[in-house]
Amino acid sequence: MMQHSSKIFSLLFFAIILSWGIPSRAQITIKIDTKNISLIFFAEQDGKLQQGYFGKKLSDRDVTNIRLTGYDAFPSFGTTYINEAALRVVHGDGNTSTELVYQEHHSDTLTDGTVQTEIRLKDMVYPFFISLFFKVYPEDDMLRQWTEISHSEKESVILYDYASSHLFFNESAYFLTQFYGSWGDEMNMTEVRLTRGQKVLDSKLGVRVNEHAHASFFLSLNHPAMETTGEVVGGTFAWPGNWKLLFDVDEKEHLHVITGINSYAGQLTLKKNSVITTPALLFTWSDQGTGQISRNFHRWARKYGIYRGDRDRYTLLNNWEATYFDFNQEILTGIIRDASEMGFELFLLDDGWFGDKYPRNSDNAGLGDWMVNPRKLPDGLGYLVREAEKNGIKFGIWLEPEMVNPESELYKKHPDWVIGQPNRPIHLKRNQLNLDLSNPKVQEHVFNVIDKTMSENPGIAYIKWDCNRFVTNGGSYYLKPEYQSHLWTEYVYGLYDVLEKVREKYPEVSMMVCSGGGGRIDYGTMPYFDEFWISDNTDALSRIFIQWGTTQFYPAMALASHVSVVPNHTTGRITPLKFRFDVAMSAKLGMDLQPADMTENEKAFSKNAIREYDKIRKIVQFGDLYRLLSPYTSERTSMMYVSEDRSEAVVFSYLLEKNIQGNTQSLVLNGLDPDAMYQLTEINKDPKTYSWFTPLEGKVFSGDFLMKYGLRFTMYNQFDSKIILLKAQ
């Protein structure tokens, strides 16, 4: 597992600094390259570090032709007045300014083939240090940037702003695509042109990174963002806590992008000979539009960004929308049997299985008391695990170990373990409170919840880890008064510590991260989790938009997408079963239906759909994504996945609005081998409806033809959907 050095810890300085001054020197060039990208810095004779270039890879011979702009690569308060500072510090003697100059840099090739560069800066007077770190993944065209802050001043230093990155752009125009939403409506996209002044995207929710906004962005240079053309930067901040993305267009129409932890009400006290490491900005560049940005992120994520990105994900049946809290052992046994007969690989038992004195029969009690409710499950979880094994499938369990209901034995015993403020009333969200993970005893408790559940019920193969509220009354009964502002970061460090221990002991258990839907989807969290639940809204039409936004940065293999009942429990919308399956099959297929309530025809269709998904599972989960028609601009939407060797592809097409004359939009494909011949087959057909794809069924076309002329077939009715499999002959 990855090691997190972001906790403040004691650091001994072994090197003796002989001189704090900066000697006269010629300009020093620092060139950071991937396969197709260059990021270049220059240290001037006065010691100032400047970003000189970021974009398409430059040859070494051309670097000397770059013209500098005079802006600091990492602007600090006291030397930056017009623009926002990436660093604001009060030194031990009360000095509020910092002036950073270059000391040294070095690059190292790591064992996994990545290259890490450290640029070390120092205040001109104080023994105060900033290291800018850049880790590049050359073949994936991905960059990771973070900072490390340390000092050996006599007194503690207060950090008021401590960004992870600062990027500088000098172009004619800037267009920002941001991602926003709310519960049940996650990952909407909108683009705005950045004009003079600042635009801030941020979160102050503490433990839910994207309740209302997401820490991801596209920055299109000179022109609005396009899917297949144009120069675009894509970035996302890897941190499941408070974050801030600042876009600042200055008086010269230059753009400064500063990203990092949102330091609002979160200043940090840094003791002498200590160090803090900030979270990372992950970013990439493309001159082939936003589509290439997404493919860069997806390829990188499968190797580095998500847990076990080289493995297939389970198809599972979850009982949540099927039963909610109203179930017993007999009902669950029946669902397990039905799940197996339908072809699912895992049954997931959701909320409501625990609590004795305060039974979990609704969301107002029992959370925190992780003992089996004997009235619902008299033979315990172990019985259900064995029932799943008897039926040839795996068993999974829902847990929300970071939370507690006031109506629970845990809260009655440890009221000081929650996040809250003295002399203030309890402030509930979803009838629950956050446990304070800055407290080591709480960290131990949370780990023990997982450990006890797993060790007492060997055979559990899957955990759905939920987090259903954000932080309010942000205080800690554990932290000292002068360190209350550390809660926002210490909570996340505590969470990381727990996840490290869980993964160390249970490396083979699959885990889904959930947070009232998609509230905790970030690349700080995903290295511990196999997949994520992006939204509690399972309506297929809503999911087209939610998944369209999510897959801009996160791969489909990790995106759990479930077929659910109609009328949908969130929207009330009624959509065909085929449409629901076809949408879910474009990501990681699952189901939230009660099989006992399905007709025999619905069961038969579902069993066949699960078999059909097996034909395309590897293409969807490991292939390159190409978006063909956007739901934001077209009444028909389409995307496709292409296998790495380009021998197979699968095209999804959905009609969002009825068209009496018939929708004939051409699907111009992408990513194929132009010289290969591909045979077309429609899968997951509904035998009750006429297939308008029939004239193309079994036909063979060249990749070149399909990428120029495209697929042309008519769709008529709202919620018509097609899945077309292409195989090279």
Give alpha helix (H) positions in 40-185: none
The yes-or-no verdict on residue 35 having pLDDT over 90 is: yes
The yes-or-no verdict on residue 17 having pLDDT over 60 is: no
466 among known catalytic residues: yes
Q: What is the pLDDT of residue 454?
A: 98
Q: What is the pLDDT of residue 691?
A: 62
What are the angstrom distances between the C-alpha of 185 and each of 180, 211, 521, 550, 683?
A: 9, 10, 14, 12, 29
* Segment 396-431, tens digit of pLDDT: 999 999 999 999 999 999 999 999 999 999 999 999
Report d(CA 219, CA 193) in Å as an integer. 10
Cβ–Cβ under 8 Å, residues 620 and 650: yes
Distance in angstroms between the alpha carbons of the first and the last residue of the chain: 41
Q: Indicate the Cα dihedral angle 545, 225, 524, 492, nearest 10°.
A: -80
Q: What is the pLDDT of residue 687?
A: 77
Residue type, 169: F
Rounded average pLDDT over 15-26? 36
Residue 361, token pair as written in the block: 């029969």
Neighbouring residues of 552: CB distance < 8 A, sequence distance ≥ 6? 179, 189, 216, 218, 234, 290, 293, 294, 297
Report d(CA 525, CA 382) in Å as an integer. 29
The yes-or-no verdict on residue 24 having pLDDT over 80 is: no
Cβ–Cβ under 8 Å, residues 147 and 275: no
Give alpha helix (H) positions in 375-486: 380-390, 409-413, 440-456
Confidence class for position 689, pLDDT limits 50, 70, 90? low
* Segment 144-167, tens digit of pLDDT: 999 999 999 999 999 999 999 999
Q: What is the pLDDT of residue 11?
A: 36
The yes-or-no verdict on residue 192 having pLDDT over 50 is: yes
Q: What is the pLDDT of residue 16?
A: 29
The yes-or-no verdict on residue 7 having pLDDT over 80 is: no
Q: Is residue 437 packed enough to be buried (19+ CB in 10 Å), middle (13-18) or exposed (0-12)?
A: buried
What fold, for 25-305? Beta-galactosidase; Chain A, domain 5 (2.70.98)
Q: What is the pLDDT of residue 26?
A: 60
Given the residues 72, 161, 350, 466, the one annotated as active site: 466
Cβ–Cβ under 8 Å, residues 466 and 511: no
The yes-or-no verdict on residue 690 having pLDDT over 80 is: no
Residue 698, token pair as written in the block: 């079994």
Q: What is the pLDDT of residue 69?
A: 83
Neighbouring residues of 16: CB distance < 8 A, sequence distance ≥ 6? none
Given the residues 536, 539, 592, 686, the one annotated as active site: 536
Count CB neighbours of 608 within 10 A.
Answer: 18
Confidence class for position 692, pLDDT limits 50, 70, 90? low
* Segment 227-253, tens digit of pLDDT: 999 999 999 999 999 999 999 999 999
Residue type, 207: V
Give the phi and the psi of residue 411 in degrees, each rounded to 5.
-65, -40
Q: What is the pLDDT of residue 5?
A: 42
Q: Is residue 473 packed enough to be buried (19+ CB in 10 Å), middle (13-18) or exposed (0-12)?
A: middle
Report d(CA 576, CA 563) in Å as an integer. 11
Length of the chain measured in residues: 729
Q: What is the pLDDT of residue 475?
A: 97
Q: What is the pLDDT of residue 79?
A: 83
- CA angle, 715 as apex, 714 and 721 as ends, to 5°? 130
Lowest mean pLDDT among 101-110, 205-214, 564-573: 205-214
Cβ–Cβ under 8 Å, residues 580 and 540: yes
Q: Is 463 helix (H, G, I), strand (E, B) or coil?
A: strand
* Segment 280-319, tens digit of pLDDT: 999 999 999 999 999 999 999 999 999 999 999 999 999 9
Confidence class for position 486, pLDDT limits 50, 70, 90? very high
* Segment 97-141, tens digit of pLDDT: 999 999 999 999 999 999 999 999 999 999 999 999 999 999 999
> Which DSSP letter does residue 7 get?
S
Lowest mean pLDDT among 172-186, 198-212, 666-680: 198-212
Report d(CA 324, CA 426) in Å as an integer. 27
Superfamily of the domain at 625-728: Golgi alpha-mannosidase II (2.60.40.1180)
> Which DSSP letter does residue 544 get?
H
More confident site: 2 or 196: 196
More confident site: 12 or 623: 623
Confidence class for position 70, pLDDT limits 50, 70, 90? confident
Q: Where are the domains of the chain?
A: 25-305, 625-728
Q: Specify the residue for token string 């959930």.
A: 514
Q: What is the pLDDT of residue 293?
A: 98
- CA angle, 25 as apex, 21 and 31 as ends, to 5°? 110
What is the share, in percent, of the chain residues with pLDDT greater than 70?
A: 96
Lowest mean pLDDT among 268-272, 423-427, 490-494: 423-427
